[in-house]
């Protein structure tokens, strides 16, 4: 980082926070981003860099210290006793190597990872009582989300009843496939309505609807990847996914348990090449320490789990986003 005084850092950080808060509000609350993700990410990383160089300028309400996203007061609020966190991210294989070195140092031995696609949607929690779906909620600010149970009942791949009377919670991503997204935008255009900027915003705008009949008309899907309270015999992330699949959840079939970084890099190369041919959007790859007891041991920061990291695709690899469109509010 170029030389900068404490005062300059404080000023720049304050202005970055104001800007990032405004963009985050448009993105999370209105589902209508004002800038593309890589612009947001660059500014966010600059703020992180300043706060790392001058820890005394960190404020408790800085976006780096909390999960982005607010709650629409028109929805019933849902507490998340186990917070729904954000995720750390890296933008190069070099940084992934550093992440792996950090994991090895913290646990004292080489680590196996479950590697998954990073689905471009919004987090969803599903709670079951005696095998019946009783509540679905959004991430919100990580601690309090929005009750979207009525809407989730219209998402075809969410099991309303499990084959076993489990009382449990799973989490995953609610997304809109590319075909459904194109169809929705075409219909909106024909009706003279503004179109959605991308499938992520279309999914968020379609799930966070006070009238569930609107959600019903939109074709939303899910990929479930987290078992919040798995039974004792489940000791790894890849087992959790296999078992959730057996219970009827829609899980992503591409995830793989990999033993070293070379295999992880091959996976990244494979999906960097395949991403445009997938029927749903992805914005990166997620590495998760596979052993659930190690995950427990590693724990979380205020904002992200220490045991997982997202490798985000470089901007030039990102799919073209239609410009000059009216962002949908």
**What is the binding site for ligand NAD (CB under 6 A)?**
23-24, 27, 33-37, 40-41, 68, 86-87, 89, 116, 118-119, 123, 139, 173, 225, 286, 310
Instruction: Judge whether 87 is annotated as a binding position.
Output: yes
Give min distance, CB of 283 to ligand NAD, in A.
Answer: 7
Nearer to ligand NAD, 80 or 139 (CB): 139
Nearer to ligand NAD, 33 or 230 (CB): 33
Give min distance, CB of 190 to ligand NAD, in A.
Answer: 27
Give min distance, CB of 69 to ligand NAD, in A.
Answer: 7
132: annotated active-site residue = no
Question: How far is residue 174's CA from residue 220's CA, in Å, rounded to a whole number?
Answer: 7
SS3 258: strand
Nearer to ligand NAD, 117 or 247 (CB): 117
Spot the catalytic one: 10, 52, 98, 118.
Answer: 118
Q: Who's near 195: CB < 8 A, 6+ residues apart?
A: 185, 188, 189, 322, 325, 326, 328
Question: How far is residue 164's CA from residue 159's CA, in Å, rounded to a whole number?
Answer: 12
Give min distance, CB of 133 to ligand NAD, in A.
Answer: 19
Beta bridge partners of 258: 113
DSSP assignments along 62-120, one per residue? SGGGS------TTSPEEE-SS------EESSHHHHHHHHHHHHHHHSS---EEEEEEES
Quick one: how far is CA 230 from the chain centroid?
20
Instruction: Judge whether 52 is annotated as a binding position.
Output: no
Nearer to ligand NAD, 164 or 253 (CB): 253
145 close to 125: Cβ distance less than 8 angstroms: yes
Q: Binding site: what residues are annotated?
A: 37-41, 86-87, 116, 139, 173, 288, 312
Q: Binding site for NAD(+): what residues are annotated?
A: 37-41, 86-87, 116, 139, 173, 288, 312
Report, as residue numbers or ranges, the catalytic residues: 118
């Amino acid at each position: 980082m170029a030389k900068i005084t404490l005062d300059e850092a404080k000023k720049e950080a304050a202005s970055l926070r104001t800007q990032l808060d405004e963009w985050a509000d448009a993105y999370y609350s209105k589902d209508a981003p004002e800038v593309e993700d890589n612009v947001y990410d660059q500014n966010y990383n600059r703020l992180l860099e300043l706060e790392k160089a001058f820890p005394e300028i960190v404020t408790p309400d800085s976006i780096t210290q909390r999960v982005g996203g607010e709650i629409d007061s028109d929805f019933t609020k849902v507490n998340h006793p186990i917070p729904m966190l954000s995720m750390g991210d890296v933008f190069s294989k070099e940084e992934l190597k550093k992440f792996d070195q950090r994991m090895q140092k913290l646990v004292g031995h080489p680590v196996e990872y479950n590697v998954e696609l990073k689905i471009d949607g919004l987090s969803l929690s599903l709670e079951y009582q005696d095998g019946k779906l009783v509540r679905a909620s959004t991430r919100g600010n990580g601690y309090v989300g929005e009750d979207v149970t009525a809407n989730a009942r219209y998402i075809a791949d969410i099991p309303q009843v499990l084959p076993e009377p489990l009382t449990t919670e799973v989490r995953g991503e609610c997304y809109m496939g590319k075909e459904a997204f194109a169809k929705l935008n075409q219909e909106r255009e024909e009706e003279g309505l503004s179109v959605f900027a991308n499938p992520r915003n279309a999914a968020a705008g379609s799930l966070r609807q006070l009238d569930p009949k609107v959600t019903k008309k939109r074709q939303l899907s899910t990929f479930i990847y987290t078992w919040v309270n798995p039974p004792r015999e489940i000791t790894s992330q890849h087992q959790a996914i296999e078992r959730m699949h057996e219970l009827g959840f829609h899980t992503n079939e591409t995830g793989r348990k990999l033993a070293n970084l070379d295999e992880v890099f091959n996976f990244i190369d494979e999906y960097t090449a395949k991403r445009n041919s997938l029927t749903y959007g992805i914005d990166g790859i997620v590495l998760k320490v596979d052993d659930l007891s190690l995950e427990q041991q590693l724990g979380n920061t205020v904002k992200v789990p220490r045991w997982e990291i997202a490798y985000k695709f470089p901007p030039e690899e990102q799919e073209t986003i239609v410009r000059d469109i009216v962002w949908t509010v």
